[in-house]
Amino acid sequence: MEKFVRFKYFDLFVNAFVTVLLVSNLIAQKICVIGPFWPLTEPVYVSGAQALFPLTYIFGDVFTEVYGYSASKRAIWTGFFASVLMALFSALAVWLPPAPVWADKQPAFEMFFGAVPRIVIASLVAYWCGEFANSFVLAKLKVMTNGKHLWMRTIGSTVVGQLIDTVVVITIIFAGKESFDTIMKLIIGGYGTKVIYEAALTPVTYLVVNALKRAEKVDVFDRHTDFNPFSKSSEPA
């Protein structure tokens, strides 16, 4: 069985992580424009979620760096099931017939909460794959570098995790509907934006990680960890 260790701030950060994840899903429908500004020659279009969702990877870096892969795995699964519940209850709310006084508002409600199954599945699969890849790479790099060069480890794990996340979500949503060229532009634009976003927040990650390590008196190295995301045991040595 997996050994559960209670930390002072872990639950607080998991709650914040899940909140950011759910809110990013709610605001994902809005399309925003960035630029043009140097070095961009044309404006970049991104979803509202891309302003917030990259923070979930920073949370993932903090969980893995401070508490280890086992704790990160619990946080990822918590966020996954919370997202499933939100999707199910949103679909239920859309499906229930509106009261007469609400009938004229139903189309707007469906626009924001009536995500088609393909988008819901794409978001859940991409989140699951990307977050676990991010945590796995960070944990391995921490052991390889003996805990040094945090900036390299957080950016390196982000490069891998966000690549998987972006490719999966864009491919599932748009395959068969848009041209290959359009899909590649969406992947490159979304991926580049998210990586730059997280790299710019590296100093914040440093502050949070160092503060938590001092407060919790813990710094886990996953030297003999079972990285199977479905395993009941992933206790670090």
Does residue 86 lie in a domain region? Answer: yes
Query: pTM for this structure?
Result: 0.86
Does residue 231 lie in a domain region? Answer: no
Which residues, in sequence order, are CB contacts of 72 under 8 Å at separation 6+?
Answer: 60, 63, 64, 135, 139
What's the structural domain count of the chain? 1
Look at residue 40 in the predicted model and tell me its pLDDT.
Answer: 62
Look at residue 189 in the predicted model and tell me its pLDDT.
Answer: 79
**Boundaries of domain holding 145:** 10-216
User: HSE of 215 in the Cβ direction (CA atoms, 13 Å)?
Assistant: 12
Does residue 234 lie in a domain region? Answer: no
Which residues, in sequence order, are CB contacts of 107 under 8 Å at separation 6+?
Answer: none
Q: For residue 201, report the phi and psi dihedrals to the nearest 5 degrees.
A: -95, 10
Written as six digits, the tokens of 95 are: 């499906």
Dist CA 147 CA 58 (whole Å)? 17
Other beta carbons within 10 Å of 53: 25
CATH number at residue 27: 1.10.1760
Does residue 1 lie in a domain region? Answer: no
Look at residue 236 in the predicted model and tell me its pLDDT.
Answer: 43
Look at residue 1 in the predicted model and tell me its pLDDT.
Answer: 42
Does residue 135 lie in a domain region? Answer: yes
Look at residue 179 in the predicted model and tell me its pLDDT.
Answer: 86
Look at residue 26 in the predicted model and tell me its pLDDT.
Answer: 80
Look at residue 61 in the predicted model and tell me its pLDDT.
Answer: 94
Q: Which residues of the chain have pLDDT under 70?
A: 1-5, 29, 31, 37-40, 44-47, 115-116, 233-237
Look at residue 181 in the predicted model and tell me its pLDDT.
Answer: 87
Does residue 97 lie in a domain region? Answer: yes
Does residue 83 lie in a domain region? Answer: yes
pLDDT tens-place string over residues 46-64: 667 777 878 899 999 999 9
